Structure 1
């Protein structure tokens, strides 16, 4: 029953389906043979992603004496390592996430149709942009008679155009769905959870401001306020569970963006803008990485702002007319709201716009130090 509720007709529906199609969300209601088939499909995608890491790792090592080829390969494989490690964390925490989504769906909280559409559009647009970028550079590499990324193959890719095309297809098969699409499926469900919390906090603020005291409606005021407090406590619990589930996920994301920025700065300084194709590929992959990081940090910042807004909404309500006992309860709400909900990267950094700026600064600082050492 629980699995039916979290896979049909709710505001996580699109994200759950996306996760299912990329082998990250097995159904608890499926028949035994279907579960076995899905498990085989899931493990197959795991194996394909590992094949990509191993083959590109060997290809990178073979070019360790060519600094440009080495940096180019590292730039592209770093994206895959980021995605694969996040998949490992996601699979490990998947059942905890399933239980959380069941609780949210059963809570009866409402969300607008526009927000549901936004959740789907976000994932579709990012998936489309990444697919276009990967396809464009793969076609360009084929046109120039080069590998998209240096990787070990059981045959010589440069022997003929057919071999080169086959090698490109193998790389695509081991990266696009096993790494890329899985990453965007995870991004979709994470962003949907944060947007859900953000919208429910805004709804709470509006309900608190709308509380009105009158001589004949004291009991109704108490009941409405009690529901608001219960919902706030529930949202606080959801926030802590989300932080616990995704703290390692966000830590990997934060570290990957810092390394990506540092690596790209090094590559641009070494390669130079005269090699336009390489420079364009560096900037394209960097742009996607920075966009992903900004989405997480922006939503994390919104969560902080809107959770702190509960305190302001409580203060702006007509509390001065309320009974004394309710005023004391409202003070407790204000005190609790002053400690905002947050998402952390491994408990080391809070996801916010400020953290995003700090990540960019850290990446450039590391590059500057390495550049000074090299020079």
Structure 2
């Protein structure tokens, strides 16, 4: 079977989402359908265990913050680092609530017969692994620096004195890492799947644009042309349906992401304004975590912006086709496609803001504005 001159493409059921699904499985967020009853029970225990250790960390960090409430630097430092875990934890809860809907959508996409490039599969897998390794390296680096300085990487309650000796300090850092890192891996697994799905939509829209531009009406092959055009319209309608379902599933997920970036930026601006030069290590810690948060947020906004651009590109591709030589009925159908494409596919953060580069800029502006107001009040 010839795939319309796209032999370099591969079917989705070759595993476009397989890496993301496997990653989610390993972090306790995606039980495989082939599991037996006993395996599902054990997997549920594993899933709840990771929830539990994340909650335990948040409680320990909260108690540690309260114990050091008189030291504004420690309080802000704990809030900054705990915010990352809160962000991932709330997104995990939302993901679990919408998991069944998401699973149905993925099954529908995989059954569609759509095609994606092999390079896309590799790109998404490489991105997820790179972000995981980079974050692990940053966290490990600052934990090592804290160990060398004889302090905690984050002030958290421990059932023993963590700074009593080097062994106690190492043990406390290991406990914190054990509680935090699974949650971080969960966040990157979710991000990988979400980004893969947006990239899938963008790729299919680009494919539709190419098909529209290459559609050539010839009287001798009129039936073939009409059939191709009908398939293009059906696929466009299907992609619009996928986009609306994704927007419904990830609405709250993106809202948490958007709010977290705004608060993170505000906290870091406050920290930069009060941390002295002598506390350069602490300053670099804040900036490193901020950069990672901004990178993750930018990836979401960039892909959301790309989805808007490519969906609007359908109208331009339709106009650039050889429609002037088409029969009147096909021209009318093409006009309907153009009208539909002028309402771009989109993802939104809680229905408040579209996921786009403009929203990313607005989040940065909001964070700085909140900081400026707080700074004026304090001064």
What TM bracket, shorter-length normalisation?
A: over 0.9
Unaligned runs of 5+ in 1: 1-6
Is 1:53 the counterpart of 2:58? The answer is: yes
Q: Following superposition, which runs of at least 4 residues in structure 1 exceed 4 angstroms of deviation?
A: none
Deviating more after overlay: 203-212 vs 63-72: 63-72
Match of 2:308 in 1: 304
Q: Does the CA contact (< 8 Å) of 2:13 and 2:110 recur in 1?
A: no
Output the CA distance in 1 between the equivalents of 2:13 and 2:220: 43
Q: Does the CA contact (< 8 Å) of 2:233 and 2:337 recur in 1?
A: yes
Unaligned runs of 5+ in 2: 1-11
Match of 2:94 in 1: 89
User: What's the CA shift for 1:272?
Assistant: 3.0
User: What's the CA shift for 1:218?
Assistant: 1.0
Output the CA distance in 1 between the equivalents of 2:67 and 2:249: 38
**1:259-298 correspondence to structure 2 within 5 Å:** 259-298=263-302
User: What's the CA shift for 1:143?
Assistant: 0.9
How many residues are paired up? 369
Aligned counterpart in structure 1 of residue 26 of structure 2, from 16, 21, 24: 21
Provide the TM-score with structure 1 as the length reference: 0.97
Match of 1:356 in 2: 360
Output the CA distance in 1 between the equivalents of 2:37 and 2:87: 33
Aligned counterpart in structure 2 of residue 117 of structure 1, from 122, 132, 137: 122
Provide the TM-score with structure 2 as the length reference: 0.96
User: What's the CA shift for 1:274?
Assistant: 3.6
Q: Does the CA contact (< 8 Å) of 1:16 and 1:189 recur in 2?
A: yes
SS state of the match for residue 111, structure 1? Answer: strand
Is 1:106 the counterpart of 2:111? The answer is: yes
Aligned counterpart in structure 1 of residue 144 of structure 2, from 139, 142, 146: 139
Q: Does the CA contact (< 8 Å) of 1:10 and 1:105 recur in 2?
A: no
Match of 2:227 in 1: 223
Match of 1:4 in 2: none
Match of 2:166 in 1: 161
Match of 1:237 in 2: 241
Is 1:66 the counterpart of 2:68? The answer is: no
Output the CA distance in 2 between the equivalents of 1:56 and 1:221: 64
Output the CA distance in 1 between the equivalents of 2:172 and 2:337: 60
Q: In angstroms, what is the RMSD of aligned CA positions?
A: 1.2
Deviating more after overlay: 80-89 vs 264-273: 264-273
